[in-house]
Structures are given as structure tokens and as C-alpha cells.
Amino acid sequence: MNREIFLATIEQRLRSPVRLALAGAFVLFAAMPYVLTILFKTAGAGVAPAGHGGLLGLVFAAGVLGQEFSSGAPQITFTRPLPRWAWVLSRGAAVAALAAVCSLLPFGAALLAGNAPGEVAIAALDQVLAAIGTSAVLVGLSSLVPGLTDLAVVAGANIALQILGVVAQFVQKEETRKAAEWLKDHLAPWFSPTLEFTALYHGAGFSPHAVLVYASTTLFWFVVACAMVNRKELSYATD
Amino acid sequence: MTATGAGIVVRNLVKSYGGGKRALDDVSLDIAPGEAVGIIGPNGAGKTTFFGCLLGHLRPQSGVITIGGRSPDTLLTKSEVGFLPERLLFDRWMTGGRFLAHHHALAGLPAERRRADVSESFAKVGLEPAAASKSLKAYSRGMLQRIGLAQALLAKPRWLFLDEPASGVDPAGVLLFRRLLAEARAGGTTIVLNSHQLEQVERICDRVAFLREGRVQSIEVLHAGAEARRHLRVRFAAASAYAPAGAEAPVLDRLAGVAASAGAELIHPLNPAREAVFAVADDAGSTRLLAALLTAGAPVVEARSEEGRLERLFLEAPPSGGMPS
């Protein structure tokens, strides 16, 4: 990890008006039920289901490596005494941290709205893990494709998984339905790794398998990114 | 020149891109510590690929590169390297000051010296202090080139790689760059310079490697001392008692005679701009020739040494096949 790269990446992300606008919109949308509860002094309906952690991961991590390579900036950075893996991990950690911190913001409003701290903390943990997991996916994909193509790949994969879900629901043939379900269940964690602690909190039981899948998927994408960047040749202008 | 293990040693370097065509084909070159070497050649000769390999950005198929006895990839080597790329692809979201501070930190230089070093770097490359708070997006090409050189020199590198350093820089900037590179050399920095500006190469470098179609075609020693034979271009007043208009032939005979008496040779007679070119043995020969011309009453207005060896190299080389670079 390199502190300078970590801080510079956070600064870079926060200087992007598009990313800031999108992040603000997602945070505001997630905080809206609590804000309305506070404003109109109505009785709280508990912690609302949220999905903003993953979206914030997409917003801050999209193009985290690919855009850099497309811009050519690493040409100078890589002449500095900095291992490439440290560059990858520092950039990845920066976007994951940014997404995680932003995903916590709506839960401040949830607490102010009078929700039980334990329930809020568990819901917040869910979103933080989703933010980190999605950031890891983007870091990995971003090392494989240029610019913001990683975002398109994630979007495409999620659309394909939704289609698989629909197929699994409506198809008549049992084998096809099972195959679609199997594919969806096994592919989804690769593109949207998350842990449902809320379900655990409500007594659904602890699943070591789910923890293992989340941890290994997140680690996998970081390893992919380090390996790809380490062997990457930097393109040059023609002379 | 023989390089020691402490210099830059390149042995039998081969680098191919997709399709198998060799961008670098068995390139070997030794650069001694403290030496300045120019890499020149036509477009597509492999110069930039060569730079990419030297910096560890590209991986050759075969061959060996050592910089100070170590691989270009090691962190120790990188801590001693400065690089100015041809395409100034910096982090454009940064201000100039943030950019230099960023590279100061990445170079591992002490944080307590950061502010002072950055300010000093701005002054050194002739950038106004106000440029430090200006976004790099708003920098002109010349300003980017200056801040690029500032980041390359920031850590006082032992090995300095410059790819077209004076491109887009005004004449004052060119002179400043030359002075900064001379200072770096005086401090023991080894310079590898890739440039199409042959005059710059001639003024800065000790030797030049001429690359063509991925091979080192020749290595020229540029500053072989004052002994090298050179050409002196002398311009005379438009019309005078010595060289009246319309009386070219007798004047030429007279000039040739004066040149011969000074141990020089008239090789190009007067052109329409009333310039003649003489071949002289060395610097002392130039002085003798000018003294002889002035003594003979020749209305000398201007005299300048014609370097031009690199231009001749280019002109003598057959056209390139245009390989990927």
C-alpha cells in the first residue's frame, strides 16, 4: 500500500463532478425514508432495505485502473520506486474506502430517525461489504479492459443474470430451469459479492459458505488486478 | 567507449510486437556513467521501443539490460531514474504544484522538504509561482514540457531518460533546458536522449546511436575534442571593394588563396546570400582562417561552425521501412 497513491486516488475521485453527482443521488435516495420520517415526525418503519453500497462501489471504482492506462499517466508513475501491486492495491483500497464511507451516510439519518442502533449497524455493514465487494470486482475488471469498459461488463453481466433469473422462473422444462438457477446462483457472487448480515440478524442463520464466497471473490479480483497490471506492457506513442 | 557494469549495458536486445516483426533487432549499446548519449533515427526506427525497454515498461523477448549493474525493474534502479516522456500524459486533474508534490512523495523524498523542493523546481524550469496553483489542463505545451522536466529532475536522478525534451518549448526554454541538462551532467547524471532535434542532440550528447529498422546502424562520437575537422560558414558583406558585385570569379580565387594560406579549404563558393563554406582542421584552424580573411581585407560579417554531422547521417541513410515503434 502506498499512502500517496491512496490519497491521490480519493482526491481524483472527489474531483469528478459526474461521480459526485451520482454518489450524492444514491446516498440521498437511500436516506430518503429516514429523512421523510424525521421531517414529518412520523413513526419509523424500521431500517429500509437498501442497495446503495454496490451502486456506490460502481460509481467510485469504475475505470479505476482502465482509465489510468487509457490516459497514459502510469508511464511516469511506474518509473518511480513503487511496486505495481502497491499501485493497484492503493487505488483499489481508496475507491473501496470511499464507497464504503459514503454507503454509511444514509444510516446516520436512520439513527436520527430513531431506529435501533444494532439493526442500523447490521444494515450498514451489509452495504459497506457490498461497496467493498463491488469495488473489488471493478478493480479486477478494470485491469482487463480499457477506460470505463469495466462498467459495461458489470452492467452486461448483471443484465444477463437477471435474464437467467427470469428464465429460471418461467421455463417449463425442469432441467433448463435448474441449469438457469444454478448458473445464476454461481455467477452472481462474481459480479455482486455481498454478505446478507441483515438476514443473519433476523435469525436466518450463519453461513460460513457465504462468508467464504464473499472473501474469496473479493480477494480473487484484487489478485487478478495485481497479476494483470504486473505483466502489462505500457503502450507508447509511435516515434 | 567501454562501459563498466555501473553504466547502462544493453546486450542483444530483441523486442517484437504482434505479427512477429522486430521493433528491436539484436540491439547492443554501452553507456558509461556520466555520459550523454543520443538515440536518433527515422520514424519507426524503434527509438521509443528502446526507451520503453530501458525503463522496464516493455519486456523484450530476449537480451539483457542492466542500469548501474541492476535490472531496470528493481526499485533501487527506479529510485535513481528520471523520465520525461514524449507524450505528456500527466494526471491532468492535478494542479502543477500538486503534480510535483505527488511525484516528490512517490520518489520517496522527505516530506519536510516537499514544499521547498517543489517551489525550487518551479523556479528552476522557469515557471511562474502562480503556475503551481493552475490546473495542468490549463498548461500550454511548453509549460507541460517544463513541468515534465521538473518532475524528471526532482529526485536528482542518476539516470535521466528524455524523450523529445524540447518539443514545443520556446527558444529561451531550449537554452534553459540545455543549461539544466549540463548542470545534471556536471552532477554525474547519465543522460539518454531521444530527439528529432538533431542540433539539440549534437549540443548535449557525447555520442549518438543511429537506430534504423530496429538495429543500431552506427555509433558516432560527437565531441571528439577540438581535433575534429569541421566546416565554417562565413558570410560576407553584400558589396565591397574586396568583393564588388559581379566580380565573383576573382573573389573566389582570392578567397581560396587566403584559405589555403591558413591551412583551410574553400569547399562551397559564394551562394546568393554571399556565404562561403570552408573546411578547417580544428578550432585553431577556424581562428587562423578568420584572421587571414580579415587581414586580407575580406568584409566578414558572420562566421559560424557548421555541425551538421547528424543531418548528414540522416541524409545518407536509406528511407525506413516504417516499423511499429
Domain positions in chain A? 3-231
Poorest-pLDDT segment among A10-19, A57-66, B240-249: B240-249
Sheet with B265-268, edge to edge strand ranges: B265-268, B275-280, B230-236, B300-306
* Interface residue A82 vs chain B (CB under 8 A): yes
Which chain A residues contact residue B75 at CB under 8 A?
Answer: 81-83
Structure confidence by residue, pLDDT tens digits, A84-114:
999 999 999 999 999 999 999 999 999 998 8
Give the nearest partner residue to B89 out of A5, A75, A239, using CB atoms.
Answer: A75
Which chain A residues contact residue B82 at CB under 8 A?
Answer: 79
Please report the pLDDT score of residue A46 as a whole number: 78
Which chain A residues contact residue B56 at CB under 8 A?
Answer: 78
Please report the pLDDT score of residue B312 as a whole number: 63
B230-309 fold: Alpha-Beta Plaits (3.30.70)
Structure confidence by residue, pLDDT tens digits, B157-183:
999 999 988 888 888 888 899 899 999
Inspect the interface and report whether the beta carbons of B75 and A81 lie closer than 8 Å. Answer: yes
Please report the pLDDT score of residue B249 as a whole number: 66
More confident residue, A141 or B241: A141
Give the nearest partner residue to B48 out of A77, A83, A237, using CB atoms.
Answer: A237
CA atoms within 13 A on the CB side of B305: 17
Please report the pLDDT score of residue B2 as a whole number: 41
Chain A 29-48, residues with CB within 8 Å of chain B CB atoms = none
Burial class (CB in 10 A: 0-12, 13-18, 19+), B191: buried
Nearest residue to A81 via CA among B302, B11, B158 = B158
Inspect the interface and report whether the beta carbons of A8 and B91 lie closer than 8 Å. Answer: yes
**Strand ranges (DSSP E) for A98-233?**
none
Looking at domain B8-221, its CATH architecture is 3-Layer(aba) Sandwich (3.40)
Q: Where are the alpha helices (DSSP H) in chain B?
A: 47-54, 75-78, 96-106, 114-124, 141-153, 171-186, 198-204, 248-261, 283-295, 309-316
Which chain B residues contact residue A15 at CB under 8 A?
Answer: 93
Nearest residue to B177 via CA among B145, B133, B202, B214 = B145
Percent of chain B at pLDDT exceeding 70: 87
Cβ neighbours of residue A152 closer than 8 Å, sequence gap 6 or more? none
Distance CA B153, CA A118 (A): 55
Collapsing DSSP to helix, strand or coil, B281 comes out as coil
Please report the pLDDT score of residue B299 as a whole number: 86
Q: Which residues pair with A124 in a beta bridge?
A: none
Which chain B residues contact residue A80 at CB under 8 A?
Answer: 78, 103, 106-107
**Amino acid identity at B322:** G
* Interface residue A2 vs chain B (CB under 8 A): yes
Nine cell digits for residue A210: 457465504
Domain boundary assignment for chain B = 8-221, 230-309
Inspect the interface and report whether the beta carbons of A238 and B48 lie closer than 8 Å. Answer: yes
User: Chain A: nearest CA to B309, how far in angstroms?
Assistant: 21
Instruction: Please state, rounded to an integer, the average pLDDT across all residues of chain B.
Output: 85
Q: What are phi and psi of A233, to 5 degrees?
A: -95, 140
**Amino acid identity at A62:** A
User: Chain B: nearest CA to A5, how far in angstroms?
Assistant: 8
Inspect the interface and report whether the beta carbons of B57 and A5 lie closer than 8 Å. Answer: no
Which chain B residues contact residue A78 at CB under 8 A?
Answer: 55-57
| Contact by Cβ (8 Å): B191, B28 | no
Please report the pLDDT score of residue B226 as a whole number: 43
CA atoms within 13 A on the CB side of B264: 31
Collapsing DSSP to helix, strand or coil, B266 comes out as strand
Mean pLDDT throughout A108-134? 91
Inspect the interface and report whether the beta carbons of A73 and B89 lie closer than 8 Å. Answer: yes
- Per the listing, cell 526532482 goes with B154
Inspect the interface and report whether the beta carbons of A71 and B151 lie closer than 8 Å. Answer: no
Which chain B residues contact residue A75 at CB under 8 A?
Answer: 57, 83, 85, 87, 89
Poorest-pLDDT segment among A13-17, A35-39, B309-313: B309-313
User: Chain A: nearest CA to B182, how far in angstroms?
Assistant: 22
Give Cα B122 to chain centroid, integer Å: 23
Distance CA B90, CA A115 (A): 48
Give the nearest partner residue to B325 out of A2, A8, A239, using CB atoms.
Answer: A239
Cβ neighbours of residue B257 closer than 8 Å, sequence gap 6 or more? none
Cβ neighbours of residue A234 closer than 8 Å, sequence gap 6 or more? A69, A72, A74, A75, A78, B52, B57, B58
Give the nearest partner residue to B44 out of A72, A234, A238, using CB atoms.
Answer: A238
Q: What Å distances lie between residue B278 and A30, A32, A33, B234, CA to CA?
A: 84, 87, 90, 8
Distance CA A11, CA B102 (A): 12
Query: Going by DSSP bridges, is the β-strand pair B159-163/B190-194 parallel, antiparallel, or unpaired?
Result: parallel
Inspect the interface and report whether the beta carbons of B59 and A233 lie closer than 8 Å. Answer: yes
User: Chain A: nearest CA to B3, how far in angstroms?
Assistant: 23
Distance CA B279, CA B263 (A): 9
Structure confidence by residue, pLDDT tens digits, B188-232:
999 999 988 887 888 888 899 999 889 998 887 776 444 456 778
Inspect the interface and report whether the beta carbons of A81 and B151 lie closer than 8 Å. Answer: no
Best mutation target among B91, B94, B109, B153 (most A Cβ atoms within 10 Å) is B91
Distance CA B47, CA A227 (A): 28
Which chain A residues contact residue B92 at CB under 8 A?
Answer: 71
B236 has a pLDDT exceeding 70? yes
Band of pLDDT at residue A44, cut at 50, 70 and 90: low
Nearest residue to A56 via CA among A32, A30, A33, A90 = A30
* Interface residue A170 vs chain B (CB under 8 A): no
Inspect the interface and report whether the beta carbons of A238 and B43 lie closer than 8 Å. Answer: yes
Which chain A residues contact residue B44 at CB under 8 A?
Answer: 238-239
Instruction: Please state, rounded to an integer, the average pLDDT across all residues of chain A.
Output: 88
Mean pLDDT throughout B134-158? 93
Which chain A residues contact residue B58 at CB under 8 A?
Answer: 233-234, 236
Please report the pLDDT score of residue B50 as a whole number: 93
Percent of chain B at pLDDT exceeding 90: 48
Nearest-5° angle of CA A237, CA A228, CA B68?
Answer: 65
Cβ neighbours of residue A219 closer than 8 Å, sequence gap 6 or more? A136
Distance CA A68, CA A97 (A): 19
Nearest-5° angle of CA A83, CA A87, CA A89?
Answer: 110
Please report the pLDDT score of residue A140 as a whole number: 96
ipTM of the complex: 0.88
Mean pLDDT throughout A16-23? 96
Give the nearest partner residue to A234 out of B57, B79, B90, using CB atoms.
Answer: B57
